[in-house]
């Protein structure tokens, strides 16, 4: 696992963070819509992004970029790394707010309800798709967007995200279908 540096600037990673965080939010909203038949804004923040997915995507990009041509390795490493990230994120959120934004009790091979085997498999598939399929496409599109537009997008997204994070640090997104252990 050679974590070779990818030769891009801050805007590359910031935009990738927001794309993957949005894709994670979309995945969670659609999954909840299909399983619970309810349209719910999932996650701690109010905006359409889940930072844990964005951070996970960046870690996958940094750590497994050089394994792009080895999808099976990317699958297993992604499943393991994302599960560790999900476990500690769940632990942190519960300690910080006394709430759980997900609970896998009742799912096959779960550990303290924080992670489970089916979730790890989904993360492995998602990581493989990100590293082996999406990143090459993203790099081509990224190069075609003028630098001033990339920078403007970064500033706009970051300002919205920081404002949302500040608001949600005091008043996190909670309630039915979002968190457990808290009624607002």
Domain positions in the chain: 10-170
3 and 63 Cβ atoms separated by less than 8 Å: yes
Distance CA(117)–CA(129), nearest Å, equals 18
pTM of the model: 0.88
Whether the Cβ atoms of residue 60 and residue 38 lie closer than 8 Å to each other? no
Give pLDDT, residue 4.
53
3 pLDDT higher than 60: no
- Answer whether residue 184 shows pLDDT above 50: no
- At 175, the pLDDT band (50, 70, 90 cuts) reads confident
pLDDT digits (tens, 9 = 90+) for 29-84: 999 899 889 899 988 899 999 999 999 999 999 999 999 999 999 999 999 999 99
Query: How many whole angstroms separate alpha carbon 129 and alpha carbon 126?
Result: 5
Helix (H, G, I), strand (E, B) or coil at 144: helix
Mean pLDDT, rounded, of the chain: 91
Q: How far apart are CA 76 and CA 74, in angstroms?
A: 6
């Amino acid at each position: 696992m050679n974590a070779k540096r990818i030769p891009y600037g801050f805007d590359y990673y910031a935009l990738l963070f927001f794309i993957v965080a949005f894709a994670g939010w979309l995945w969670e909203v659609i999954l909840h819509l299909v399983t619970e038949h309810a349209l719910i804004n999932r996650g701690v923040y109010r905006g359409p992004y889940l930072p844990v997915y964005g951070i996970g995507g960046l870690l996958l990009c940094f750590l497994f970029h050089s394994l792009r041509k080895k999808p099976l390795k990317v699958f297993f490493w992604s499943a393991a790394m994302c599960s560790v990230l999900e476990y500690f994120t769940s632990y942190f959120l519960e300690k910080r707010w006394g709430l759980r934004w997900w609970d896998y009790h009742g799912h096959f091979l779960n550990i303290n309800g924080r992670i489970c085997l089916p979730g790890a498999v989904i993360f492995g598939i998602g990581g493989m798709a990100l590293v082996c399929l999406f990143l090459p496409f993203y790099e081509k599109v990224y190069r075609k967007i003028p630098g001033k537009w990339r920078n403007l997008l970064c500033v706009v997204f970051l300002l919205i995200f920081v404002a949302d994070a500040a608001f949600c640090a005091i008043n996190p997104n909670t309630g039915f279908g979002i968190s457990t252990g808290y009624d607002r």
